[in-house]
């Protein structure tokens, strides 16, 4: 398991987790395994310096990244993350997971990802805009509607996408709405995009729960991360009759064995910036989350949250990966041995990229769909993906993650094989 990028720390977690996942799927790929190294080596990795004039007149330099992992099936697709811990290793892994995700859902995209190492909460709005515009300018030669289409991720939102779209359009000399997705609706964004990832977690979770004969009504649900993804998934599960018994975010962990209102918690977080202090639940330690009695667990924060130790503690019967890469490979093994079913990130949280695909299609045609049409199409694609992955898992007697990787890798490597290597011998 190697990469040609010698300047990447091989001991860091996210990229090594991805490489371990690729190794596990190799025995199932037959003759296509000849091309497996194409998935271990990102096609392109760009590191940029992002100088910003701060409000006090000083100049600060931030490090930015854009990685295009694989473009065999179409233009790159992937978010832009503003976070203090962003580094090349993380962005490489996230771009690779996007490659797998798009192929698993059979979307006509490759995988990409970008980010800046910054805490956006420490910047003024004006500084954040200058940072976004300069970063966009620095990566503008490798992005575009037919090249690579960024979207929001951790620390970014529709406003950031509007600035990116505007900056790129200025450099092109005309408005190019399709250069990013996740934009405000009045700038070419799609209805349903904001809630799409959380909705996808709910749809895939219900589909698998049905196969496990696990009733959603009355099920105890715990959520790690109460941002866009976790909160929307929690509300949908609550509406379906489940009990939200625990939620953890960057401000703390709250618990009520009888359940509490996800809608009221959403409103509380909007006003207070986090779940800490919510009156209808008690504060517990962050590590106590892993001992809470639950039926369904939704990790919707950052990668690398379910360790081997926590996998032994977790009481859930079903894990829905709302975040990218939340489960370490050794934790995967432990949960599988314990009979815990994991709906892997590459299908579970793919609702966002699916509706991003819808937004891109709408921008390219200048014809927009209703939210009902969006949700209907999204639900069908997510359910079809679950059915295909479940069938492949049954056929190969493997877990859902390995099955999803088989489906995705077969599509990617077949495209690589059919396209060939340029130049030939």
Please state the domain extents for the chain: 42-185, 194-348
DSSP state of 157: -
Verify whether residue 40 is a known catalytic residue: no
42-185 against 194-348: fold identical: yes
Q: What is the DSSP string of 195-246?
A: HHHHHHHHHHHHHHHHHTT--STT-EEEEE--SHHHHHHHHHHHHTT-EEEE
- 194-348 — its CATH code? 3.40.50.720
- Helix H or strand E encompassing 128: helix 125-139
User: What is the per-residue pLDDT for 5?
Assistant: 38
Q: Which of 68, 66, 77, 142 is nearest to 105 (CA)?
A: 77
d(CA 34, CA 339): 33
- The fold for domain 42-185 equals Rossmann fold (3.40.50)
Q: What is the pLDDT along the chain (425 residues), one digit of tens a residue?
A: 334 333 333 335 889 989 998 999 999 999 999 999 999 999 999 999 999 999 999 999 999 999 999 999 999 999 999 999 999 999 999 999 999 999 999 999 999 999 999 999 999 999 999 999 999 999 999 999 999 999 999 899 999 999 999 999 999 999 999 999 999 999 999 998 889 999 999 999 999 999 999 999 999 999 999 998 999 999 999 999 999 999 999 999 999 999 999 999 999 999 999 999 999 999 999 999 999 999 999 999 888 899 999 999 999 999 999 998 899 989 999 999 999 999 999 999 999 999 999 999 999 999 999 999 999 999 999 999 999 999 999 999 999 999 999 999 999 999 999 999 888 77
d(CA 399, CA 413): 21
The answer to whether 143 touches 150, Cβ cutoff 8 Å, is yes
Task: List the catalytic residue out of 113, 183, 220, 243.
Answer: 113
User: What is the per-residue pLDDT for 109?
Assistant: 97
**DSSP β-ladder status, 296-299 and 282-284:** unpaired
User: What is the per-residue pLDDT for 347?
Assistant: 95
- Strands laid side by side in the 44-53 sheet: 44-53, 59-70, 110-117, 76-83, 148-152
User: What is the per-residue pLDDT for 402?
Assistant: 94
- Predicted TM-score of the model (pTM): 0.89
User: What is the per-residue pLDDT for 73?
Assistant: 97
d(CA 213, CA 111): 34
User: What is the per-residue pLDDT for 4?
Assistant: 39
Give the chain's radius of gyration (CA, Å). Answer: 21
Sign of the alpha-carbon dihedral angle for 203, 205, 211, 214: negative
d(CA 13, CA 171): 37
User: What is the per-residue pLDDT for 17?
Assistant: 87
- 3-class secondary-structure state, position 53: strand
d(CA 123, CA 156): 13
Q: Which two tokens stand for residue 125?
A: 């709005």
């Amino acid at each position: 398991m190697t990469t040609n990028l010698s300047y990447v720390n091989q001991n860091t977690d996210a990229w090594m987790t991805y490489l371990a996942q690729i190794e596990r799927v190799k025995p199932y790929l037959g003759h296509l395994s000849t091309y497996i190294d194409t998935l271990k080596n990102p096609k392109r990795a760009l590191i940029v310096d992002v100088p910003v004039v701060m409000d006090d007149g000083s100049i600060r330099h931030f490090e930015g990244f854009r990685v295009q992992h694989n473009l065999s099936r179409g233009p790159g697709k992937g978010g832009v993350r503003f976070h203090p811990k962003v580094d090349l290793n993380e962005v490489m892994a996230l771009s690779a997971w996007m490659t797998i995700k798009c192929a698993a859902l059979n979307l006509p995209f490759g995988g990409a990802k970008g980010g800046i190492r910054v805490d956006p909460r420490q910047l003024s709005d004006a500084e954040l805009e200058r940072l976004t515009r300069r970063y966009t300018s620095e990566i503008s030669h490798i992005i575009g509607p037919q090249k690579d289409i960024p979207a929001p991720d951790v620390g970014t939102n529709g406003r950031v996408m509007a600035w990116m779209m505007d900056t790129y359009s200025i450099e092109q000399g005309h408005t190019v709405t399709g250069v990013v997705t996740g934009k405000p609706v009045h700038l070419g964004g799609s209805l349903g995009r904001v809630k799409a990832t959380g909705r996808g977690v709910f749809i895939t979770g219900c589909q698998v729960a049905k196969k496990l004969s696990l009733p959603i009504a009355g099920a105890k649900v715990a959520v790690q991360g109460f941002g866009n993804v976790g909160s929307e998934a929690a509300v949908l599960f609550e509406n379906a009759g489940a009990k939200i018994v625990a939620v953890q975010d960057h401000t703390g962990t709250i618990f009520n064995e009888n359940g509490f209102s996800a809608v009221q918690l959403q409103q509380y977080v909007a006003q207070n910036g986090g779940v800490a202090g919510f009156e209808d639940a008690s504060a517990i330690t962050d590590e106590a989350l892993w001992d809470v009695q639950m039926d369904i667990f939704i990790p919707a924060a950052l990668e690398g949250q379910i360790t081997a130790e926590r996998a032994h503690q977790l009481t859930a019967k079903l894990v829905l990966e709302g975040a990218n890469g939340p489960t370490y490979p050794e934790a995967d093994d432990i949960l599988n041995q314990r009979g815990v079913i994991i709906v892997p990130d590459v299908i579970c949280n793919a609702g966002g990229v699916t509706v991003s695909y819808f937004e891109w299609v709408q921008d390219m045609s200048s014809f927009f769909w209703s939210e009902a049409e969006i949700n209907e199409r999204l639900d069908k694609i997510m359910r079809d993906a679950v059915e295909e992955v479940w069938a492949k898992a049954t056929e190969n007697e493997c877990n859902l993650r390995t099955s999803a990787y088989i489906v995705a890798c077969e599509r990617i490597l077949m495209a690589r094989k059919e396209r060939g290597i340029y130049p030939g011998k």
